[in-house]
Chains A and B, each alone.
Chain A
Amino acid sequence: MGLKQSLHKMKMKYEGTKMAPAFNAIHTFLYLPNETTHNGTHIKMADDLKRTMNMVILSLVPCLIFGIFNAGYQHNIQIGLVDAAAGFFSPEFWNLDNFSIGAWKVLPLVLVSYGVGLLIEFIFAVIKGHEVEEGYLVTGMLVPLIVPVDIPLWMLAVAVIFGVVIGKEVFGGTGMNILNPALTIRAFLFFAYPTWMSGDKVWVTGAVDTVGQPDAISGETILGSLAQNNGFQQWDLMDQFLGFIPGSVGETSKLLIVVGALILILSKIGSWRIILSTLVGALTMGLIFNGVVSQGWVTESSKFFGLMDVPFWQHLFIGSILFGAVYMATDPVSASQTNKGKWIYGFLIGFISIMIRVFNPAYPEGVFLAILLMNVFAPTIDHYVVEGNIKKRAKRLKVKTA
């Protein structure tokens, strides 16, 4: 008897029992179910939510792999084990030394994120008697990519529990949440453990352990350095674009994020409207700041000068604005749901991201705060877009009766 038949028998046996959702989650992972249509359309499109989520995960894989190597590379370059990488395929970057350190650091993050998050999803599915929904498959992949590499695993576990329970399950699970769950987790870490998340130690592995020693490793990011008016340090534009810089695990390589964005847009999974308008919003705000500087309203003595003086287009190369625009802002559940609304929603995310980045010297990254803020306002934006349609209909009636 083949696997297919034995699983089918087990499904029949478990049907209606408490553990059925847990079994079905594993079963439907292996096999597309034998469910048929009953009423309405007798045929259905090929895509289901698993396939959609799977595309997002696929688009994230390059970022994860790069993140693993980069974690090791950033450590090794500071202790002098490797030299600065010359190009994207440089052997100074893609080597076993970098990989072993990175993998040892990053893979546990992935395991904890998926393990804890899916466990909670299964528990809630069993308690509430609904199927395990696929939303966490993407969230679980995003979380390790947006945290500092040296974050303690227990801290991540606590944050994941908070994010999944408060960010999603209390609203009714996937599709019902107001805030992006991955960013809820990020925000929880930021506000619960600010010294960890905002310091200049945690972005390169080993930096925390070597504090005060003569060969101390610097764990600072470019944004942190700019916020203190210290310029770009040793990293040039190419490093920033290819991603050989310190930062959260998966967000450094702008090249691979662009690749991921192309996958999402060409497969019609991610909303190109949101991605494009977010970038336009960020560039607009950057331009305004550049204008302010060139007018001489803000001088070099100002603590905002360092970030304000960054050329507007270079804002896209530093920090996580690009990652946020491509993978976070496009989450369909927490974003605007109307096409017109998506333009407004994206633009404001980009605009506010750069504003927070510049005006928040304590922790110069505003992308996740901007996205969470706009998540809250997305229903309001939609309300006004839909209201336009309602008004049009009401007007049509009035013309008729007049």
Chain B
Amino acid sequence: MSKDIKIKKGLAIRLKGEADKTLSNAPRSRTFAIRPSDLHLITPKLAVREGARLQAGDTLFFSKDNEAIKFSSPVSGTLTEIERGAKRVITKITIEGDQQDVFRDFGVKTPSSMDAAAIKSHLLAAGCWPFIMQRPYAVIANPELMPKAIFVSGLNTGPLATDLDFVLQGKEKELQAALSALAKLTEGSVHVTIGKNSNSPLAGMNDVTIHKTNNLHPAGNVGTQINKLDPVNKGEVVWTIGAQDLVVIGELFLTGKYNAERVIALAGSSVKTAKYYRTRLGSEVATFVYDSGLTDENVRIISGGVLSGTAISPKQHLGFYDTAVTVIPEGDDYDLFGWAKPVANKISTSRALTFSWMTPKKKFDLNTNTNGEHRAFVVTGGYEEVFPLDIFPLQILKACLVKDLDAMEALGMYEVAPEDFALTEFVCVSKQPHQQIIRQGLDLMYKEIG
């Protein structure tokens, strides 16, 4: 029962510095780190002490609220540092990696001969569970709930996106194992969405429903696909999982190892040779950023994409869920009459003396300047043009700002994640932080309604 998606509302943001489709091995990182801030609403409880020797796959910590959810060490090495913030909350766990990884053996298993409970406990034990996210609330999935469906996006449509067709090449066996396992965890089906003209390795998978979509951003966002295919109602749960995380899960079944390998796209206009690197979850970004080289001193390094990633320093580490590192110029400079003069070198959805509409194929070199100050919501109608979900974006944002739980629920808060509001944030004339507003709204609902 495949259903194709075609969205008309959206925005293609074309940027300079797309990653070249060549894959290199990144130099081995000395330290690896996990930042609990990547794991939204998880309070870590340590399973090992500082100084402990770890194998790749050994449990580092688990969630305080649900001790079944475990987080594993991505490498073998020594736990060297536990950084704590206010109220002794753990902010970073650093592991000094060994030269060679030694993997803990979880045993080779065939998903087809396992039942749901066995698959679940296997994933939980090996630390693969945190890759599964749930909606509502856009947090790590609650293993006790039964999802009505599971969604996997097989394409990226965002600016400087990681090309999943390229990244997943040759991983068919792992993908199939993971998808077969996941198919047993839902009462509905596993929906996999791929690009219309792509040769995605996901296209031939069994046990799943394949959908095709056009390539206008945000068609690749899993939130868009959920809204178009099987929207979340009150009381329902769906799970989502990143395509690369499927490979990790698949390898767990096929080899018994927790191999948190990542192929990341190093992209952005400040990168000398933008290309793909094979590295590991939590590795220092300096290892490959400096391997490729930067063209500029004053840059912003982002773990993730330009729309929803996290700003980090080169000494810091790749985020838990991130499959890209983007480097763009900082925009901390003034621009004389920048608000009045005609601009052709920045993207705009209006034509208010902005000329990007005349050059739809042009690639832009955008920096981090906000292009204006934060204001109250004034202009209307602009968000709807780039927001394909059947939801009123301005109204739901305002409901979140005034903490009106009833309105938030009625307007469709169960269906959204912050990343769904990345495009409306990008085009916001008032420079409002949409993703943060939605995140805080979701957290409030989680706390109040659960």
Contact = CB atoms under 8 A, between A and B. Distances in A.
Given A51-B339, A397-B234, A32 B300 contact: no
Contact of B375 (A32, A39, A54, A174): A174
Contacts of B330: 36
Interface string B300-339: 1010001111110000000000000010101111111111
Given A8-B334, A38-B311, A332-B379, A393 B410 contact: yes
Interface stretch (B129-137, B166-174, B189-197, B433-441): B433-441
Given A40-B425, A55-B353, A35 B373 contact: yes
A51 B356 CA distance: 15
Given A34-B369, A43-B367, A55 B334 contact: no
Interface string A35-51: 11111111111111111
B66 to A, nearest CB: 27
A176 B353 contact: no
A383 to B, nearest CB: 10
Nearest to A36: B368
Nearest to A399: B233
B13 to A, nearest CB: 8
B351 to A, nearest CB: 4
Interface string A371-402: 00000000000100010011011101100100
B337 A41 contact: no
Contacts of B368: 36-37, 42-43
B295 interface: no
Contact of B332 (A36, A51, A176): A36
Given A40-B435, A41-B308, A397-B233, A32 B369 contact: yes
B376 interface: yes
A34 B392 CA distance: 32
A176 B381 CA distance: 17
Contact of A4 (B331, B336, B348, B356): B336
A370 interface: no
A12 interface: no
A175 B377 contact: yes
B394 A49 contact: no
B404 to A, nearest CB: 12
Given A33-B334, A37-B370, A39-B435, A175 B375 contact: yes
Nearest to A133: B375
A338 interface: yes
B405 interface: no
B231 interface: yes
Nearest to B236: A400
A30 interface: yes
A399 to B, nearest CB: 9
Contact of A337 (B300, B394, B411, B428): B394
Interface in B385-408: 390-392, 394-395
Interface string B205-239: 00000000000000000000000000101111000
A43 B426 CA distance: 7
B354 interface: yes
A34 B349 contact: no
B429 A47 contact: yes
A261 interface: no
A27 to B, nearest CB: 9
Give the size category of A's interface with B.
35 or more
Nearest to A27: B334
A269 B379 CA distance: 8
A337 B426 CA distance: 19
A271 interface: yes
B363 to A, nearest CB: 13
A37 B348 CA distance: 17
Contacts of B346: 45-46
A36 B348 contact: no
Nearest to A274: B381
Interface string B339-354: 1100100111111111
Contacts of A35: 332, 369-370, 373
Contacts of A54: 339-340, 352-353
B411 to A, nearest CB: 7
B444 interface: no
Contacts of A176: 376
Contacts of A40: 308, 418, 422, 425, 433-436
A320 B300 CA distance: 52
A269 B352 contact: yes
Given A50-B339, A332-B379, A41 B350 contact: no
A46 B348 contact: yes
B10 interface: no
B381 A31 contact: no
Contact of B328 (A29, A43, A396): A43
A271 B426 CA distance: 20
Given A36-B331, A43-B368, A174-B375, A49 B430 contact: yes
A359 B365 CA distance: 58
Contact of A55 (B300, B308, B352, B426): B352
B45 interface: no
Interface string A311-349: 000000000000000000000110101110010000000
Interface of A: 4, 7-8, 28-52, 54-55, 131, 133-135, 172-176, 266-269, 271, 332-333, 335, 337-339, 342, 382, 386, 389-390, 392-394, 396-397, 400
The 4 closest A-B pairs by CB, nearest first: A48-B372, A32-B338, A175-B376, A46-B346
13 contacts: A31-B335, A34-B333, A36-B370, A37-B370, A40-B425, A42-B368, A43-B306, A47-B352, A52-B378, A175-B376, A267-B352, A390-B410, A400-B236
Given A41-B307, A42-B311, 4 more contacts: A30-B336, A43-B328, A46-B346, A49-B372
